[in-house]
């Protein structure tokens, strides 16, 4: 009876749909079809996703036909095809499982980045966080920038033009607030330092769930204060410090920027660079409750894993509007964005974080913050693993240009 009803409804829309032997509606060549699965599956009625782009809805969902307007960028699709499903993270049941998979994937992806012999790495282990714990910062710097004599010479040249010292970036790595580390990112950060000419200080913040909010953003803020207070001896200009982060690190970078504004850091941060930032715990919950977003077919990180990371970081209130969540932990929850520094945001058009990034960019613009926002069509989260495609090259050029203007 249910199949007959579905066929009648779809026929009324002048669509001819074929069904398989089990009675499920199969995806057609040119469209994505939402399919009614007769069993309840997934976390909190989340849909399942086929490799063809069909959404398999839990029992009781309204069946409808979706026009397939989202598609992979041609170059990205060509990069993906020989790799099968390897670039897509499988569903993880625990944070530990997520951490292991994330770290293995990131290590393999960034290990392919060519080494940068001009960049040296220096680790500083004397950063004291708000609770007295000591964390570390790794510096990516050229020999000329590191040399006191050269730094002093450069500073004297720059002093008359733009103030004493060199620009710098505090970098916050991604990993859902529960995974990742600076060592995994060394090749990528060294390359960015070489391309931009700006030295990078990457913070090794503590991870949830062992260290939930507010610890990760407080660690990042402690690293910023350390960089700010040691700027002179490092040959840096305190007025030319920016912050940058990707994924969850982008969200933590935005949270750090808000903390710096509200705690009166002076001189203030000059800019923030947010790469596919994870900004709003409510966005994932809303997407799960609707269950019909075409973005789910392209997710490289399962929606249920994104929600698991938010819960590990925030606790049981994650995803709830009345969950008593601090806006200093979740930047999108901050009601007033006025007075934040100039902001660069880019995100893939197939990224699950797309909408929250676009909304945050709009809110910044409405708050009269200078914003540069790029929506890169046809690519999902972590698209930079396809290093040679046009979308990645364009994104890297934009990020380098923004950093070079510090």
185: domain CATH number is 3.40.50.1820
Whole-number Å distance between alpha carbons of 43 and 379: 26
Structural domain count of the chain: 2
Q: What is the residue-level pLDDT of the chain in tens, covering all 406 positions? A: 433 443 343 334 333 333 343 333 333 333 433 333 333 444 454 544 443 344 444 544 444 454 568 999 999 999 999 998 889 999 999 999 999 999 999 999 888 889 999 999 999 999 999 999 999 999 999 999 987 544 444 444 343 334 469 999 999 999 999 999 999 999 999 999 999 999 999 999 999 999 999 999 999 999 999 999 999 999 999 999 999 999 999 999 999 999 999 999 999 999 999 999 999 999 999 999 988 899 999 999 999 999 999 999 999 999 999 878 999 999 999 999 999 999 999 999 999 999 999 999 999 999 999 999 999 999 999 999 999 999 999 999 999 999 999 9
User: What DSSP string describes 42-55?
Assistant: SGGGPPEE-TTS-E
pLDDT number for residue 9: 38
Q: What is the pLDDT at residue 60?
A: 46
Q: Say what the pLDDT of residue 42 is.
A: 46
pLDDT of residue 292: 83
Residues 361, 258 share a domain: yes
What does the pLDDT read at residue 102? 96
Helix 390-404, helix 186-196: angle, nearest 10 = 60
Q: Residue 124 — φ and ψ, nearest 5°?
A: -115, 125
The whole-number pLDDT of residue 17 equals 33
Alpha-carbon torsion angle 350, 250, 323, 363, nearest 10: -80
Predicted local distance difference test score (pLDDT) of residue 65:
52
DSSP string computed for 262-293? HTT-SSPP-EEEEES----HHHHHHHHHH---
Q: Are residues 346 and 396 in the same domain?
A: yes
Beta pairing class for 65-66 and 119-128: unpaired
Same domain, 105 and 60: no
Query: Under a CB-based contact definition with an 8 Å cutoff, are residues 52 and 27 in contact?
Result: yes
User: What confidence score (pLDDT) does residue 111 get?
Assistant: 87
Beta-strand relationship, 271-275 and 236-246:
parallel
Query: In 3-state terms, what secondary structure has residue 143?
Result: helix
Residue-level pLDDT at 21: 39
Say what the pLDDT of residue 358 is: 98
**Does 208 lie in the same domain as 326?**
yes
- CA–CA–CA angle 341, 344, 321 (5° rounding): 80
Q: How many CA within 13 A on the CB side of residue 242? A: 25
The verdict on residue 90 lying in a domain is no
The domain containing residue 134 runs over which residues?
101-404
- Spatial contact of 375 and 354, defined as CB atoms under 8 Å apart: yes
Residue 75: inside a domain? no
Q: Say if 80 falls within a structural domain.
A: no
Best CA proximity match to 309, nearest among 134, 89, 147:
89
| Sheet with 342-348: strands ordered across | 119-128, 134-142, 199-203, 166-172, 236-246, 271-275, 342-348, 371-376
Over its C-alpha atoms, the chain yields an Rg (Å, rounded) of 23
Q: Indicate whether 44 and 166 sit together in one domain.
A: no
């Amino acid at each position: 009876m249910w199949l007959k009803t579905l066929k009648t409804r779809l026929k009324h829309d002048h669509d001819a749909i074929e069904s398989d032997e089990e009675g499920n509606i199969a995806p057609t060549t040119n469209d994505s079809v939402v399919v009614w699965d007769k069993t309840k599956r997934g976390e909190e009625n989340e849909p399942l996703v086929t490799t063809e782009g069909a959404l398999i809805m839990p029992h009781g969902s309204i069946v409808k036909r979706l026009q397939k307007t989202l598609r992979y960028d041609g170059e990205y699709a060509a990069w993906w095809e020989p790799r099968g499903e390897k670039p897509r993270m499988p569903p993880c049941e625990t944070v530990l499982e997520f951490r292991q998979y994330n770290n293995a994937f990131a290590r393999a992806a960034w290990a392919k980045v060519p080494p940068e012999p001009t960049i040296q790495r220096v680790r500083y282990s004397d950063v004291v966080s708000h609770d007295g714990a000591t964390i570390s910062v790794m510096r990516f710097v050229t020999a000329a920038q590191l040399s006191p004599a050269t730094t002093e010479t450069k500073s004297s040249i720059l002093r008359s033009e733009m103030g004493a010292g060199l620009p710098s970036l505090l970098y916050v790595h991604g990993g859902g607030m529960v995974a990742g580390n600076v060592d995994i990112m060394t090749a990528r950060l060294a390359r960015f330092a070489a391309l931009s000419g700006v030295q990078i200080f990457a913070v090794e913040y503590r991870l949830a769930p062992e260290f939930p909010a507010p610890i990760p953003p407080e660690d990042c803020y402690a690293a910023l204060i350390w960089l700010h207070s040691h700027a002179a001896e490092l040959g840096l200009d305190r007025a030319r410090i920016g912050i940058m982060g990707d994924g969850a690190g982008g969200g933590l970078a935005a949270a750090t920027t808000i903390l710096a504004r509200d705690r009166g850091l002076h001189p203030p941060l000059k800019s923030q660079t947010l790469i596919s930032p994870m900004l709003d715990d409510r966005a994932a919950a809303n997407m799960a409750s609707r269950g019909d977003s075409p973005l789910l077919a392209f997710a490289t990180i399962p929606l249920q894993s994104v929600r698991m990371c938010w819960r590990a970081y925030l606790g049981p209130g994650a995803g709830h509007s009345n969950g008593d969540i601090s806006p200093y932990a979740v930047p999108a929850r901050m009601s007033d964005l006025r007075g934040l520094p100039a902001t660069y945001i880019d995100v893939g058009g197939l990224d699950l974080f797309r909408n929250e990034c676009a909304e945050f960019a709009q809110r910044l613009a409405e708050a009269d913050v200078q914003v540069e926002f790029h929506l890169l069509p046809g690519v999902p989260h972590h698209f930079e693993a396809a290093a040679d495609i046009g979308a990645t090259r364009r994104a890297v050029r934009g990020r380098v240009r923004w950093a070079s203007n510090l």
